[in-house]
Amino acid sequence: MSQPIISFSRPYRSARELDNLRDVLELGHVHGDGPFTLSATNRLKAITGADHILLTTSGTHALELSSLLLDLGPGDEVIMPSFTFPSAANAIALTGARIVFVDIEPVNGNVDASLIGRNVTSETKAISIVHYGGVAGDLAEVVRIAEAHGLALIEDNAHGLGGTWQGRQLGTIGELAIQSFHDTKNIHAGEGGAIIVNDPELMGRAEMLREKGTNRSRFLRGQVDKYTWTDIGSSFLPSELVAAVLDSQLAEFDHIQAWRHRIWNSYSAGLSDWALAQDVSLMTIPEGREHTAHIFFMLMPTHADQTAIIAHLRELGIVATFHYVPLDSSAAGLKYGRTPEPALVSEDFSSRLVRLPLWAGMTDGEIERVIDGVSSYSPR
């Protein structure tokens, strides 16, 4: 008897999304920066405690906007982990700056902070990190190095909305941080993103770069009497249709997060005996962190087990997946980056990591099926 497929991820449907979309179309303000943009931005400020947030068309565009704000260009270097999403690297490569890939730590997959300091050169301008799975790494050391060398810190917080480190919200620690609202993320708008500008001096320029390099935002606030081309820039602001969906999702943030945490906690408890017996490491959350239940991962004993358990689960109608092929050895990574020391942990981590289905909407029966399916696998 074949059971219905349990997908890896499924975009959440929020209660007000259709009403919000109708409101936008009926009110007629469909381009960006209307009432839903304002409302969604305020909800993001309430969650993060940040003062300066701008919605963008994607997390990728927020990363590109970050690079523009930091004036990155040829001759500059940016240090980042080899185990991250390509957008973080693209945002550097597009400016002509060089990426310096460093390895990760083997438990949570975050950058190995001890490797950053020894790879800072006179060209280094910034450090770009990701809070993998919405779990902060050794941020004390990252921040210390950034401050000691006067480097900007960019947080890719696509996984970490609402997560904390030592009581501080993720996304409020670096000069700049980004969020993604792609429909695989906890909160989504189909496609969408945001930039959090924690260095207030960058905010005025961030507004202009986001609006085609014009001072249109100041014009709309009545601060200038006509708007002109003032800087480089692009069109990074989302339509109100996107903001309307985002706003309806953010209105249910606590509900969505509680649902995801319930799944995460069920996996963690339900798989612990199996994992111990089979030499599998389950995702853990270190002291002083609150995570976001964005992903639940397991590290299998070998790469062969990674392949085999994904196939085993597929036969049971459960879609599990690996994550992040390391960037340093990818075709573009070789072209646009350099890797001073081989990123062996990153390669090993990537070759053994398996992520389980996790989305608000999964039923208790589906969660059980995943736990049973995983537990019925024995490593080779």
Q: What residue ranges bind ligand PLP (CB under 6 A)?
A: 58-60, 85, 87-88, 130, 156, 158-159, 180, 182, 193
β-pair partners for 284 = none
End-to-end CA distance of the chain: 26
Min separation Cβ 158 and ligand PLP, Å:
3
Rounded to a whole number of angstroms, the minimum distance from the CB of residue 159 to ligand PLP is: 6
Q: How far is the CB of 129 from ligand PLP (least distance, A)?
A: 10
C-alpha to C-alpha distance for 338 and 336, rounded to whole angstroms: 7
* Shortest Å distance, C-beta 220 to ligand PLP: 26
Task: Output the six-digit token pair for 225.
Answer: 């009497």
Amino acid identity at 18: L
Report the residue number, 23 or 191, with the smaller CB distance to ligand PLP.
191
Closest CB to ligand PLP: residue number: 59
Between 154 and 280, CB nearer to ligand PLP: 154
Q: Measured from the CB atom, is 7 or 375 closer to ligand PLP?
A: 7
Angle at 96 between CA 91 and CA 98, to 5 degrees: 80
Count the residues in the chain. Answer: 380
| Minimum gap (Å) between residue 70 Cβ and ligand PLP | 17
CB 189 within 8 A of CB 58: no
Whose Cβ is closer to ligand PLP: residue 112's or residue 305's?
Answer: 112
Q: Are 320 and 313 in contact (CB under 8 A)?
A: yes
* Nearer Cβ to ligand PLP (124/186): 186
Considering the complex, state which of residue 158 and residue 283 has its C-beta at the smaller distance from ligand PLP.
158
Nearer Cβ to ligand PLP, position 80 or 367? 80
CA dihedral 266, 271, 273, 278 (to 10 degrees): -170
Q: For residues 206 and 236, what is the distance between their CA atoms, to the nearest angstrom? A: 10
Q: Kindly state the smallest distance separating residue 213's Cβ from ligand PLP, in Å.
A: 21
Whether the CB-CB separation of 6 and 357 falls below 8 Å is answered with yes
> Which of 156, 158, 152, 94 lies closest to 127, judged by CA?
152
Q: Which residue has the tokens 């700056």?
A: 97
Question: Could you give the C-alpha distances from 84 to 130, 174, 250, 342, in angstroms and in order?
Answer: 7, 17, 25, 16
**Minimum distance from CB of 231 to ligand PLP (Å)?**
23
